[in-house]
Structure 1
Amino acid sequence: MSTRELTVRTDDGIDLHVETDGDGVGGDRTAPTVVLSHGFTARLGEWDLQRQALRSRARLVLWDQRGHGRSGWTPLARATIDRTGRDLGRVLDAVVPDGPVVLAGHSMGGMSVMALARQRPELFGSRVVGVFLLATSAGGLATHGVVGLSLRVLRRLHLLRPYLFLLQVLAPGLERHRRRGTRAGRWYVRRYLFGRDDADPELVRQVQELLEETPLPVTMAFYATLLEHDESAALPVLARVPVTVVAATHDRLTPVDHGRRLAADLGPSAELVVVDGAGHSVNLTRTAVVDAAFLRLLDRVEDAARAA
């Protein structure tokens, strides 16, 4: 299998780091290309385990979203899901200009896929023939609990935008004095990225190192767009193709109810896979379950192609 690294420049001048893996099944260019979009504060390396499982079935394209991994910095005002959706479209145009495509996204990566569906619906059902959504949400992440209450109060007092602006102003200073690899950081990762009984200490440490690579200014810049995220209008577009939704029962960042609602709104085109006991990093801790669900999606895509 051949692996290449390349750079794709966005329409607003951001250089995106992209990797391709393989040339399709035995060089068959009619086999789908799988494009994998990582989650918030991560990078394309979070897909390494799925990369091993999928490379025998499809050509793979992985990319670092703007501000993450080896991709370029982004102006704060452009750290939005709307922009990452456009970036994904740019990667498709530059790296996969023809042939069938299956899009996969974890967390914020899934939101980028939904944004692309809203922006370029003509791709879905023609070029895009399948979608894999992992631990993600179509919107409403900040409507419940302490965060939801705080946001409602801030909005009522017209203080939300000043609050978000203050976070972005403080972020560079906090980054200069930031300590990585701390016990407090591991506690946060253990609580919010892992599930009931899947937190192997070494894996927690690996995920902590992965997430802490992303500078705090990037984290704070994207924080606002995650709070406001709503791509429910994109769901009828996604419903044109086979979709797999994977949700974890102990996911504290994108709770399982968001996955259930997402699958219900997509309707008959969606397969829902609920992983008991797992958390947000379900692709790392329940690798066999996630890989099997992904391979079933590729089977469904092939079945649909043959039926067509």
Structure 2
Amino acid sequence: MFNLLMSGLTTAFDVSPWELEKARFGEYTDPVLLSQFEKLDETAVKALLSLPALFWYETSNEKGARVGWLEELKIRGRDLQIKFGLDPFIPEIPFPMMMELAPHLDIGVGRRDFEKNRTHWAVKDVDLIDLLDHRRIVDRNQISPRAPYARPQRNVRPTLSVQPQFFEIPDQPIDGKLVAVMMPFTPRFGGVYDAISAAAQQVGMHTQKADDIWTHSVLIQDIFGLIYRSHIVVCDFSGKNPNVFYEAGIAHMLGRHVVPITQAPDDVPFDLRHHRFIPYLNNGEGLLGLTQKLAPRLATLAET
């Protein structure tokens, strides 16, 4: 199954959220299928959010479609507010191709079909991703790891209780979108940090480094707090900086995802060379390459 969100406004899906009259939910949906969702209760909403979504426009606009997912649904009186995300790994499906696919997706685009000219939200009993994969429009192995239709079942590992004696555990909760950056405190790494931040922004995350904060009189406590609150820690081993080695050890002990980067492969400690690392050059072309290589890695780790 998949959600079909169709709008007559050409900018409707440029920015989330999208609003729709509640009465238009379930139009052009099989009645038996609609009975599972029409109440829009907690169970129905959870099921809808687990489905892929196709964002298209009334055919008079002759615009292509995007694939993505729904993140949140709020009922506001007679309207629905739908927060959504577009899959950055799946390009826009051109309009001519959508017209060809529409009958296979149970979307009415014939001369006597009104669906193609109606703003609405339908649920279709078609495996959207499978069909697009079969037509070689998308590669099932190249979809966003953030998408609900891409999330594998993971085995639950036993938790490890950590009670540090040297550090204070921060009061702030862990931020699932925070990427902590550990690197030498020198100006020549400014461009490197910008490249890392650009990669994080591409996948909906944000970065912070220790010299951006000052909440404790002892610097290492601020560093520990940053690592503790983060979901991913990028460690730049360039120059064999001992502080970065120490910070990487803290991150590993806390169970954070560590992504090593370096300007020289020999700078990666021997005990960590079995982990994959991203090499880069500290120049314009090299930093652009760092962003391009780091972004998909962050996207993969974002939902783990």
TM-score by length of 2: 0.25
TM-score by length of 1: 0.24
Structure with bigger RCO (C-alpha 8 Å, 6+ apart): 1
Larger radius of gyration, structure 1 or 2? 2
More helix by share: 1
